Amino acid sequence: MSQDPIDQSDFMRLFVRHERDLRVFARGMLPNWPAVDDVLQEASVVMWKKLHQLEKEEDFFTWARVIVRYEALRARRNAARDRLVFSEETLELLADEAMSTTGDDLKQERAVLNGCLMKMGDEQRELVFAASMRDGGVKELAEATNRTANSLYKLIGRLRASLRECVKREMKTREQAHG
């Protein structure tokens, strides 16, 4: 393994490789996707400036998550008057828990979820996607399709629950298959 110092071109490569997983980590602490975008943007600038602190490429994901965690908490303090965010104590607990998830865990989950999505009908899949695109997506979809937000939410909720069950079941099967 090379012990060369990590330079800025390495940073771009590492950041791009881990960006999706860092977004997943940030989502666990932040109330919506625009907040995730903002925190990732700020965190990437901090990472760039503090790159000299990173000794080994293998440590990038852990190191980067510490920075994302700090920036997410900072964003929460700036939005302290927003009543739709969790308390700092809860965010710290969630961040502690989320640090134990590895990149391999996420890779496996993605593969399993893709399989479960493929088992759904096209329209069901579109509804699930619509709900995850942005906050208020369900309300906008309800207006566009002349349905009540509540009835649509219930339908999407059922679809998401069935997806969760499918993922849970498939993960269990994989765990059993691998001893």
Footprint of other proteins on this chain (CB under 8 A)?
9, 12-13, 16-17, 19-20, 23-24, 27-28, 31-34, 37, 41, 44, 83-87, 89-90, 93-94, 97-98, 101, 106, 109-110, 113-114, 117, 126, 128-141, 144, 149, 153, 156-157, 160-161, 163-164, 167-168
Q: How far is the CB of 68 from other proteins (least distance, A)?
A: 13
Q: How far is the CB of 126 from other proteins (least distance, A)?
A: 7
118: Cβ contacts below 8 Å, ≥ 6 apart? none
Between CA 155 and CA 161 the distance in angstroms is 10
Q: How far is the CB of 70 from other proteins (least distance, A)?
A: 18
Between CA 114 and CA 21 the distance in angstroms is 16
Q: Which is nearer to other proteins, 58 or 89 (CB)?
A: 89
CB 103 within 8 A of CB 64: no
Q: Which is nearer to other proteins, 32 or 53 (CB)?
A: 32
Nearest to 125 by CA among 172, 174, 162: 162
Query: Torsion angle, CA of 134/158/116/165, rounded to 10 degrees?
Result: 120
